[in-house]
Amino acid sequence: QLQLQESGPGLVKPSETLSLTCTVSGGSISSSTYYWGWIRQPPGKGLEWIGSIYYSGSTYYNPSLKSRVTISVDPSKNQFSLQLISVTAADTAVYFCARLYGGNSVDYWGQGTLVTVSS
């Protein structure tokens, strides 16, 4: 059974960089069928797609976050990562990592991790 697990700091200071890693187990991140993505959900609000990556390194970003986001992949570790720079309180959210079939639809989600931006 495929599992995705987010890891990283739960508290980040304003203006600093948010960094999270997603470890994939039970399947290969190098599968040609799937993309890997990050989705976030501010407290009490809806889902927002941040971006996706293919195992080859091709990336796709939400235009509203593109200037601050970098998603990378490490097939040797079966991991992919998120970096979000210059964070503010508005970036406080539960961050989910996910597998996307064909890059189009999410079929597996991580459990999510709450990241709070506060001094």
42 binds other proteins (CB under 8 A): no
95 binds other proteins (CB under 8 A): no
Distance CA 59, CA 111 (A): 23
25 binds other proteins per the rule CB under 8 A = no
Tell me the site size for other proteins, rule CB under 8 A. Answer: 23
The answer to the question of residue 29 lying near other proteins (CB under 8 A) is no
What amino acid occupies position 62?
N
For position 16 contacting other proteins by CB under 8 A, the verdict is no
Overall size of the chain counted in residues: 119
Helix (H, G, I), strand (E, B) or coil at 91: helix
Give residues with Cβ within 8 angstroms of 14, minimum separation 6.
Answer: 87, 88, 89, 117, 118, 119
96 DSSP 8-state letter? E
Enter the tokens of residue 36.
């890997």
Does residue 104 interact with other proteins by CB under 8 A?
yes
Residue 58 C-beta: closest distance to other proteins, Å: 9
Would you tell me which residues interact with other proteins (CB under 8 A)?
A: 35, 37, 39, 46-49, 52, 60, 62-63, 96, 100-101, 103-107, 109-112
